[in-house]
Structure 1
């Protein structure tokens, strides 16, 4: 998983907002709801966290170098701590799914506003 590719992908999703929070975290949000987070240290992305479907959470956290995301595991977020833990294709598919999960929980009005920007 190329963390820079993932950052660029998340940044281009409809209505996505990227902010630095908590000192050194890049937070990707849609409708003011987070769908991905990456830790930035010394101008290098060190990991990537995002929501997965509840029924797949254990599947991912059983894999090497993928752990429950700190503070967000209860909401079924995972953290990829080593770029070699998954392919770019799988990562982009999962980031899109995370975005879709969060987007689906927004109000219909807000969804329409975002898709018509």
Structure 2
């Protein structure tokens, strides 16, 4: 999976937006104003995604490509190498899980606004 594929997959999610809130290099994807994925433009070999704490640990134990989130809350975020042995399907599942986890934490009103704005 490359950065363009990551970007396309993220922006296909209802209510997803992209921006550079930290610097010119870190592309951040949000839903309802909350981050669900970060990726560096200059070092696009990995991304950070949010994860349920138990699943985060399980993924790290099973896959050497999954590490505690770099510069993130290590309990809730993983840094995932997208150039390794993980399949595109596995990477997309991690992105989807992150999006759904963040979406579920949004206020019901915001969730409803996003759901009604779907094409």
Equivalent residue number for residue 39 of structure 1? 40
Equivalent residue number for residue 56 of structure 1? 55
Distance verdict in 2 for CA 1:85–1:7, change over 3 Å: farther
Contact 1:3–1:48 under 8 Å retained in 2 = no
Given the two structures, how large is their TM-score scaled by the length of structure 2?
0.86
Equivalent residue number for residue 12 of structure 2? 12
Deviation at 1:3? Answer: 3.5
Given the two structures, how large is their TM-score scaled by the length of structure 1?
0.87
The count of corresponding residues between Structure 1 and Structure 2 is 115
Deviation at 1:36? Answer: 0.6
Unaligned runs of at least 5 residues, structure 1: none
Unaligned runs of at least 5 residues, structure 2: none
Q: CA RMSD in A?
A: 1.7
Distance verdict in 2 for CA 1:25–1:85, change over 3 Å: farther
Q: Distance in 1 between matches of 2:54 and 2:82?
A: 23
Deviations 1:5-57 (Å, cap 9, x if unpaired)?
A: 1221001110001002322111000011001110111xx62321101121111
